[in-house]
Amino acid sequence: EMKVAILYNIPGEGSARSKTEMTAEIEVLETVTAAKRSLEERGIEAVPLQCSLEALFSLKNFDLVFNLAEGFGDDLRAEPNVAGFIELLGVPYTGSPPRALEVARDKGLSKLILEREGISTPRFQLFRTPDEPFSLDFPVIVKPALEDASIGITFDSIARDETNLRAKVARILETYDQPALVEEYVEGREVNAALFIGPYGAEVLPISEIVFNLPDDVPRILGFEAKWLEESPFFQNTIPICPAPLEPELKDRIEILAKEACSALGIESYARVDFRIREGDDEPFVIEVNPNPCINPSGSGFARAAAAAGMDYPTLIERLARSALDRFRKGHLWTEAGSKDGKEGMEGDDEGFSAGELGFRRVRAKDAPLLFRWFEDRELTRYMEPSSSLTIDQLEVSILCSKDEDFVIYWGDAAIGFASLYDRTPCTCEISYLIGDPDYRGRGLGRKIVDALLDHGFSRLGLKSIFASATVENLSSIRALEGAGFRRIGTRRDCSRLGEFCLDDILFDITKEEHLARRSGCY
């Protein structure tokens, strides 16, 4: 029988946080209770363990650790150490690895990484004394550089002149004994994106927006009171809406940025990315990336987003547990009927990603008979290179030796086609696809498949450009490529055999910048 430890931590009186700020830590008890109940509903033994040396050493007796610990005892900066200890034990666990937790906790370091990766985030400075030179534009927001859960952020955190700025910096330095992060304040909307990040790729749940029903002179920020103190007027007048009413182009842009931000910081399992959308031009800025965010069932943004996606709380817990097991190549906690070989039933050594209803599972040797049938269908592959007359056994060997990004495409649980990113270099690759199931042809899926391959190539593989080609008579592929933003760059003449004729190929390419600009509606 599967045995799961639910590890959590509650700081004592020795913690540096105030009694009010401890509210953010104590809420974990609700999550522990709900997670235990959810696991037990699936017939899984779940044992809550408060973090201690004895508890940590006992974890080797469990099949999975549901890691809700955000520190060790009174040391709230030891969250990465706890994850590191579990990792040394070799036990699967939910949440991000220690390095990602350490990086994300350091707001200055994480913003430097985001800037390096070209991800929009407000300009900032770190202050270690109140008297350091100031080089930003007012207004700015001042917050602790090494805290989470909006600790140290209030509606009085905005500074509009230098005297006020230095007073707020001094308060942070004295109260929290850490640098102050000073960041240019972005006037506009506040939204956040919750993500599942598994070995099959990242999935963004419906985006949430925080609506502020506050007086005009009160800054629109989600401070500690608004997030945690239910009796506060700030809490009562900051209303979350999910899904957020966003234009499709802006929604796509936020989803791409959320995935890229998590990838840049090495976040795994699940996360929440907070954004401000600048007033005037709707430019989204990443404010913070939160690994292992709060998932309590009654008020967390993550649970709200999961519910908006049609997911009840036990399913959320199941998803996190299964992803942890997959990540550690230990098999599955749940086996879904009819999906052993589908996109939801992938074995530990396989990877993939999803894009809406489409799923992309890395090709396995056992897929050879299916692929062989598709590749040998000359009507289906009439615009492709002629078959090289491989046997099924030879195709299996080819799959095992391939260094390409080859995927079986799924619609729900149905395998419908094949896609590949091949001839890959550090900068570029070529893509191709085919829809093998005739029931799924002519439904406009080509454009969606190409979009998904571009997101994978640019966001996950870090490519700078992607190339494609299509025979002049292959109108459906041409429409799919051009609809996804590819531009024609030339013609390869008389190179594709179709019956007695040799036809021209149209050559296409697209850069990462062009793809992102198109997704944001600027191209």
pLDDT in tens, the chain (523 residues): 789 999 999 875 444 444 454 555 567 899 999 999 999 999 999 999 999 999 999 999 999 999 999 889 888 789 999 999 999 898 999 999 999 999 999 999 999 999 988 999 999 999 999 999 999 999 999 999 888 767 878 778 899 999 999 999 999 999 988 999 999 999 999 999 999 997 667 899 999 999 988 777 777 777 667 665 667 776 767 789 999 999 999 999 999 999 999 999 999 999 999 999 999 999 999 999 999 999 999 889 999 999 999 999 999 999 999 889 878 753 333 333 233 344 443 333 346 888 877 899 999 878 888 998 888 877 776 666 544 456 777 787 778 777 889 999 998 778 999 999 999 998 999 999 999 888 888 888 999 999 999 999 998 888 999 999 999 888 889 999 999 999 999 999 988 777 678 889 999 999 999 998 887 654 4
What is the DSSP annotation of 290-336?
Answer: EES----TTT-HHHHHHHHTT--HHHHHHHHHHHHHHHTT---S---
Q: Which two tokens stand for residue 399?
A: 């799959």
- Domain 104-316's class? alpha beta
Q: Angle at CA 266, nearest 5°, toward 309 and 3? A: 65
Average pLDDT value for the chain: 85
CATH classification for the domain delimited by 3-94, as one of 3.20.20.140, 3.40.50.20, 3.30.470.20, 3.40.50.1100: 3.40.50.20
Q: How far apart are CA 180 and CA 168, in angstroms?
A: 9
Domain extents in the chain: 3-94, 104-316, 336-519
Question: What residues have CB less than 8 Å from 207, skipping those under 6 apart?
Answer: 191, 192, 193, 242, 243, 244, 246, 251, 254, 255, 305
Helix H or strand E encompassing 239 = strand 238-241
Condensed to tens digits (0 to 9), the pLDDT of residues 404-419 reads 899 999 987 789 999 9
Q: For residue 264, which amino acid is it?
A: A
Alpha-carbon distance values, 472 to 91, 444, 497, 498 (Å): 54, 19, 12, 11
| Terminal Cα-to-Cα distance of the chain (whole angstroms) | 54
pLDDT of residue 443: 84
* Strand 45-50, strand 3-8: pairing: parallel
pTM, to two decimals: 0.63
CATH code of domain 336-519:
3.40.630.30
Percent helix, strand and coil across the chain, each to the nearest 5: 35, 25, 40
Q: Which two tokens stand for residue 320?
A: 């996190």
pLDDT of residue 330: 36
Handedness of CA 14, 30, 212, 181 (dihedral sign): positive
Radius of gyration of the chain (CA): 25
Helix H or strand E encompassing 240 = strand 238-241
Handedness of CA 497, 503, 504, 510 (dihedral sign): negative
